[in-house]
Amino acid sequence: SPVMIDGVALNGPTLDVSAAEGFIQQSMAIIMEDAVRKATNVREKVCEWRSPEQLKELLDLELKDGGEAQSKILQRCRDAIRYSVKTTHPRFFNQLYAGMEPYSMVGSFIIEAIKPSLYTYEVAPVFTLMEEAVLKKMMEFLGWEEGGDGIFNPGGSVSNMYAMNVARFHHCPDIKELGLSAVPRLVMFTSQECHYSISKAAAFLGIGTKNVYVVPSDKRGKMIPAALEEQIKKAKNEGAEPFMVNATAGTTVLGAFDPIEEIADICEKYNLWLHVDACWGGAALLSKKHRHLLKGIHRANSVAWNPHKMLMACLQCCAFMVRDKTGLLQRCHSARASYLFQQDKFYDVSYDTGDKSIQCSRKPDAFKFWLMWKALGTSELERRVDRAFAMARSPEYANVCFWYIPPSLRNMPESPEFWQKLHTVGPAVKERMMKKGSMMVSYQPHGDKVNFFRMIIISPQASREDMDFVLDEIDRLGQD
């Protein structure tokens, strides 16, 4: 007879594992067919566009009291895949990530099946060691011969925020306990082309967006070192305290690399923390041919680098690394929760890495990169990076930025009316390509430039024919 407590039967498990297994197997078959085979087939659509209203109807989103039959749930899985954008499709050029990476994907599946949280060695022994190994290898590519410290984070924006927090703590350690009232007006420096996460982090951390001094960039989008020095002097003359410079290796729109070596000289002169946001451009370090773009990165105090971008690890996979080896990351963020980080454990508690993080639960994202790196080897990663560079043939990186001039504008002089009309071409062509589902390329205005296309080349599945297709398709879609 059932053991009842508070009206709830407690004897025996209520999860039918063999039914769960059957469901997982059937859903895996759908994933293989729809999310892997079809999604990466160049003859299939990149997206099946529906408006939010249409999609709400199609997906029947309301959550109800009763559960549904498995066959219905399997159909829901198919629909979720069908109406999602296939970022693994060879003609998805929209973001700084793309393409299907099978080893990393299997790593993701394993993580979801095992469900570890990377705060203590006790619950994540394997993944703790893998994170350490991946960070060590990445630091070798940074040229940090003495090593350093680091953790993986949910997003490059978070890594940049870590950098700002650690740099500030390094500059005034009292801030952790005494807060903002204990510090003078702190100012940091970054280029006009930097990622918007710098400004967000300044707001979030109480630095203030107006205390992020913007340094002009040259035509290619690279920070001008002399202008950086000017800004530092200006801040000092105002009585503010400079504490950090953010250099970008691979800017989001233009793919530009700031001159790290020259910036490092200035940081050394003024005793400023140098952070390099290499979320996008870090992958170039794997290429003997292109690593010169990051010359001087070994002098950075911290680096953010996202293997989920050019290196194609599954989302998210974002490393934040500091050159410090004295435990700065831990001191800056630790809260010493005694229920989790007991100091009298039976193993070496330095392997409990969680207190370096501002999170509690943390996914072992490094595993997704470790598994693919093991499978492919450094040489294949390098080949992929070199291929993306060669395919893009862009002045800097894998960002190909261009205007498409439709027939009606081709004989028009470059007047304000011309630029105003050209500004409307990107959004119109984008709408047409998405509704057709043939490809995805991004567009944006930038500085004083009206909307232009930004095509990002990553996937080793994308071919020379796909490059031609993009140009022909924009020409087809752009007819007036």
Nearer to ligand ABU, 120 or 159 (CB): 159
From the CB of 101, what's the least distance to ligand ABU, in Å?
17
- Taking the mean position of all CA atoms in its chain, how far away is CA 80? 23
Closer by beta carbon to ligand ABU, 308 or else 323:
308
**Using an 8 Å Cβ cutoff, are 277 and 246 in contact?**
yes
CB of 156 to ligand ABU, least distance (A): 6
Q: How far is the CB of 95 from ligand ABU (least distance, A)?
A: 3
Closest CA to 135 of 111, 152, 158: 152
**Residue 22 Cβ vs ligand ABU, minimum distance, rounded to whole Å:** 38
Using the minimum distance from each CB to ligand ABU, give the nearer residue, 172 or 315: 315
Tell me the residue nearest to ligand ABU as measured from the CB.
95
Residue whose CB is less far from ligand ABU, 150 or 156: 156
Q: What is the binding site for ligand ABU (CB under 6 A)?
A: 95-96, 156, 195, 252
3-state helix, strand, coil in the chain (%, to 5): 45, 15, 40
Closer to ligand ABU by Cβ: residue 252 or 287: 252
Closest to ligand ABU by CB, 87 or 104? 87
Distance of closest approach, residue 161 Cβ to ligand ABU, in angstroms: 13
Name the residue nearer to ligand ABU (CB basis): 290 or 308: 308
Q: What is the DSSP string of 60-129?
A: T----SS---HHHHHHHHHHHHHTS--TTSTTEESSS--S--HHHHHHHHHHHHH---TT-TTT-HHHHH
Following CA atoms 439, 445, 449, 453 in sequence, which dihedral angle do they give, to the nearest 10 degrees?
A: -10
Q: How far is the CB of 79 from ligand ABU (least distance, A)?
A: 26
DSSP state of 396: S
Judged by beta carbon, residue 88 or residue 252, the one nearer ligand ABU is 252
Alpha-carbon torsion angle 138, 142, 148, 153, nearest 10: -50
- CB of 87 vs ligand ABU, minimal distance in Å: 10
Q: Count how many residues are written for the chain.
A: 480
d(CA 312, CA 172): 37
143: helix, strand or coil: coil
First to last CA, the chain: 76
Contact 282, 143 (CB under 8 A): no
CB of 168 to ligand ABU, least distance (A): 22
What is the spatial distance between Cα 420 and Cα 299, in angstroms, rounded to a whole number?
A: 44
